[in-house]
Amino acid sequence: TNRTFTMIKPDAVENGHIGAILEKITAAGFKIVAMKYTQLSRRDAEEFYAIHSERPFFGELVEFMTRGPIVAAILEKDNAVEDFRALIGATNPEEAAEGTIRKLFATSIGENAVHGSDSDENAAIEGAFHFSGREVF
């Protein structure tokens, strides 16, 4: 479909990159249809990242994602999920292509500046996790 879900993660917020990241997103043709500045509770983060609960970095991931505010947003564009994953680049910023958001703003594989949904199904689940119908325009 034409929507994806993103978060600007705590590292990028702390480092003052909210504006620059939103500029990259809109310049790439994504329309922001929902957005909020919020902070995940431990329970939120454990639920959001439940798929990774058996991975060795899960504790670190939950600590990181809850340590400060994030920007959560739903984005609209043709081919949104795939195009947004291309815009953010590889999980590990050392492997991310030049010009991608993670290449520009991420510091490590764990603290990698942004999230992007990995499927249409997850985009819908993740968007609904953060936004009610009245918050999507």
List, as residue ranges, the binding site for ATP.
9, 57, 85, 91, 102, 112
Among 8, 21, 35, 61, binds ligand GTP (CB under 6 A): 61
Neighbours of 136 (CB within 10 A): 14
Count of positions on this chain that bind ligand GTP (CB under 6 A): 11
For position 15 contacting ligand GTP by CB under 6 A, the verdict is no
- At residue 4, what is the residue type? T
For position 110 contacting ligand GTP by CB under 6 A, the verdict is yes
CA distances to 26, 30, 31, 39, 85 from 65, rounded to whole Å, are 24, 24, 25, 8, 19
For position 112 contacting ligand GTP by CB under 6 A, the verdict is yes
Choice between 23 and 50, CB closer to ligand GTP: 50
For position 63 contacting ligand GTP by CB under 6 A, the verdict is no
Residue 46 burial by Cβ neighbours in a 10 Å radius (0-12, 13-18, 19+): middle
For position 57 contacting ligand GTP by CB under 6 A, the verdict is yes
